[in-house]
């Protein structure tokens, strides 16, 4: 197997991490690089282990996304999924992951087993908090089954679907950009791009879905004028507004990407070799430190 090479790339999650704290960005994308190797330097190994830390809200979102993908793939095979059975599957996945973290199985395989922030840093989750997470999962899954997007999807031809949680890349002005559209398919003369959200609305969500639309123009060969892009807020019932990606939308998100890429590259010691030194990525200490997986190795963390 060829050795993995650290090359510069961009994604919306990478952009958000850089905005939140440049030091966290360095830990995640540079300091932890190669930490999965058994003979990796001690710092890289430790940072890689910390990088794999999740939390219960993030875990719940991941489980709901996997459940929805499973429901859609079952529909594609001509099978029906039951809402309550899907909720039960989600809760079983949460319990399995919680148990893995508590038993520290990640020590043997950090990529294969869950490691929770609540177990590493605390506070230990109490029963009311765990019940809140379980209620959130149930609300999101049931909302998906009752939602207008799912009703529209059921009227489409699965053979024409364009994406179900498909990780891919496209070129943006010479930079590899990652995109993971939750779902996309033609509906009538349009192409819809849905992005399931298990949290509350954020001003960044619209930009993220527009990015997936720009990916669609490049990879699916669809016209920008035919694209509808919508974040689907499952905690709010799962409806959406039929909003097209305008030329202004495309220019704004392209500008965001261009500016973000330039700022990231400007911090590199060697842009051509994608070499970054820790000192060039000063931290933004504050409330974000509480949820940062790297706070135990960051002297400036609050």
Greatest C-alpha distance within the chain: 55
Please indicate, yes or no, whether residues 49 and 131 belong to a single structural domain of this protein: yes
Q: How far is CA 295 from the centre of its chain?
A: 21
Crossing angle of helices 203-219 and 12-20, in 10° steps, is 150
Please indicate, yes or no, whether residues 139 and 165 belong to a single structural domain of this protein: no
How many domains does the chain divide into?
A: 2
Please indicate, yes or no, whether residues 165 and 250 belong to a single structural domain of this protein: yes
Other CB atoms closer than 10 Å to residue 3's CB: what's the count?
Answer: 6
Last residue of a domain, which of 146, 164, 191? 146
Please indicate, yes or no, whether residues 163 and 255 belong to a single structural domain of this protein: yes
Q: Could you tell me the pLDDT band of residue 3, with boundaries at 50, 70 and 90? A: low
Q: Could you tell me the pLDDT band of residue 242, with boundaries at 50, 70 and 90? A: confident
Please indicate, yes or no, whether residues 142 and 157 belong to a single structural domain of this protein: no
What does the pLDDT look like over 60-105, one tens digit per residue?
Answer: 999 999 999 999 999 999 999 999 999 999 999 999 999 999 999 9
Report the predicted TM-score, pTM, of the whole model to 2 decimal places. Answer: 0.95
What does the pLDDT look like over 154-203, one tens digit per residue?
Answer: 999 999 999 999 999 999 999 999 999 999 999 999 999 999 999 999 98
Task: Measure the CA–CA gap between 245 and 230, rounded to whole angstroms.
Answer: 10
- On whether residue 195 sits in a domain, the answer given is yes
2 pLDDT more than 70 = no
- On whether residue 1 sits in a domain, the answer given is no
What does the pLDDT look like over 204-239, one tens digit per residue?
Answer: 999 999 999 999 999 999 999 999 999 999 999 999
- Range of the structural domain that residue 260 is part of: 152-265
Task: Measure the CA–CA gap between 146 and 237, rounded to whole angstroms.
Answer: 8
């Amino acid at each position: 197997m060829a050795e993995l090479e650290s090359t510069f790339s961009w994604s919306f999650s990478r952009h958000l991490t850089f905005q939140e704290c440049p030091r966290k960005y360095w830990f995640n994308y540079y300091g932890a690089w190669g930490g999965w190797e058994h003979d990796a330097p001690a710092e890289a190994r430790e940072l890689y282990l910390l990088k794999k830390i999740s939390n219960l809200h993030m875990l719940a979102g991941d489980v709901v996304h996997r459940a929805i993908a499973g429901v859609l793939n079952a529909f594609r095979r001509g099978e029906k999924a039951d809402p309550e059975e899907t909720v039960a599957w989600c809760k079983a996945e949460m319990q399995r992951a919680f148990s893995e973290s508590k038993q520290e199985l990640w020590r043997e395989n950090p990529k294969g087993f869950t490691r929770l922030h609540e177990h590493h840093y605390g506070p230990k989750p109490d029963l009311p908090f765990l019940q809140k997470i379980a209620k959130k999962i149930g609300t999101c899954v049931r909302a998906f089954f009752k939602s207008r997007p799912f009703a529209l999807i059921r009227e489409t031809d699965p053979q024409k679907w364009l994406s179900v949680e498909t990780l891919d890349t496209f070129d943006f002005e010479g930079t590899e950009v990652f995109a993971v559209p939750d779902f996309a398919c033609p509906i009538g003369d349009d192409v819809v791009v849905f992005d399931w959200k298990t949290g509350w609305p954020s001003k960044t969500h619209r930009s993220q879905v527009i990015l997936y639309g720009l990916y669609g123009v490049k990879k699916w060969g669809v016209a920008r004028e035919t694209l509808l892009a919508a974040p689907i807020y499952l905690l709010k019932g799962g409806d959406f507004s039929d909003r097209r990606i305008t030329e202004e939308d495309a220019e704004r998100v392209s500008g965001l990407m261009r500016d973000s890429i330039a700022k990231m590259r400007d911090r590199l010691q060697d842009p051509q070799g994608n070499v970054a030194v820790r000192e060039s990525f000063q931290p933004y200490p504050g409330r974000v430190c509480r949820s940062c997986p790297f706070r135990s190795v960051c002297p400036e963390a609050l």
